[in-house]
Amino acid sequence: MSRPHLLMPGRMPKDVNDALDAHFIVHRIYELVDHEAALAEIAPQIRAVAASGTVVGAELIDALPGLEIIASFGVGYDNVDARYAAGKGIIVTNTPDVLTEEVADTALGLLLMTVREFGAAERYLRAGRWLESAYPLTATLRDRSVGIVGLGRIGKAIARRIEAFGIPVAYHNRRPQEDVGYPYYDDLLAMARDVDTLISVLPGGATTDRLIGRAVFDALGPRGVVINIGRGSVVDEEALIEALAERRIHAAGLDVFEKEPHVRPELMALDNAVLLPHVGSASLHTRHAMGQRVVDNLIAWNEGQPPISPVPETPFHGWTARG
């Protein structure tokens, strides 16, 4: 079987690179000085794209007339214009399931760090301040209730962990989930008024852009805690900074940001904000599994088989013959 030409717009983990080199002719466009000239030269040959965070929008899709599949590294794929790809008959895949438990673990760790201030307490010890006095008492999870925004695979894994902590769980979704018994809210503000801890697991995109803003923070109130493990664009950072600085909510824990890796200095200056550098799935075990899913989706396509994890916008209905 001939090796198809594959475009890699941005860097991928080494194990992904090695596996793709064994099955494809890989064009690492990010390594070249003149991207546009190189792309114009190879574009007619490209049949597949492997992307990790880099934007694959309508312009790039249109520049690749033979494109059949875009394999995205990550469960979130807002960097890929999947709807546009669907209109062109191009399959888009992502890497769900393999990172669910890792991200849920991170969400609970971030929640504990935010409410119990474990990171600040460690810094206090390292600074030698324990010799002067005990670390101040903190808030607790014992008297809290959690509302999860986005009860998909990861949201449900987080909910199971929250339940194990003995904390009541509610959720807000576009529609109720039939396989859970948690209270469902079709109104986000109503849920925010009834809980004091909000965990967002929402993907990015136009429908969720800055969904969690001033009105939600005010509904949570001064005991409110906001955890974002989904996409940075879902939370209005300017409104969040104001709510934290004015103590209209108690604290926030963020693993994702609007313009990451750039983080607003105002956020970093706040002592009631816990900030992580998007490490939700960042373990060797999970990133390897995610990379393998990218490879497996592409190999399935190359062998004329159904992809393992096509996104909902591009459901698989069979491959057309490749010329």
Catalytic residue among 260, 264, 288, 313: 260
Among 110, 70, 94, 79, CA closest to 278? 110
- pLDDT tens digits, one per residue of 182-193: 999 999 999 999
Instruction: Tell me which CATH code domain 100-275 carries.
Output: 3.40.50.720
Reply yes or no on whether the pLDDT at 26 is more than 80: yes
Q: Which of 242, 278, 288, 313 is catalytic?
A: 278
Q: Is residue 260 flagged as an active site residue?
A: yes
Same-fold call for 5-98+285-302 versus 100-275? yes
Which CATH entry fits the domain spanning 5-98+285-302: 3.60.15.10, 3.30.413.10, 1.10.260.40, 3.40.50.720?
3.40.50.720
- Whether pTM > 0.75 for this model: the answer is yes
Whether pLDDT at 236 is above 90: yes
pLDDT recorded at residue 322: 47
Of the candidates 231, 250, 287, 293, the residue annotated as catalytic is 231
DSSP 108-138: HHHHHHHHH-HHHHHHHHHTTGGGTSPPPP-
What is the percent of the chain with per-residue pLDDT over 90, rounded to a whole number?
93
Give me the residue spans of the domains in the chain: 5-98+285-302, 100-275
Q: Is 35 a catalytic residue?
A: no
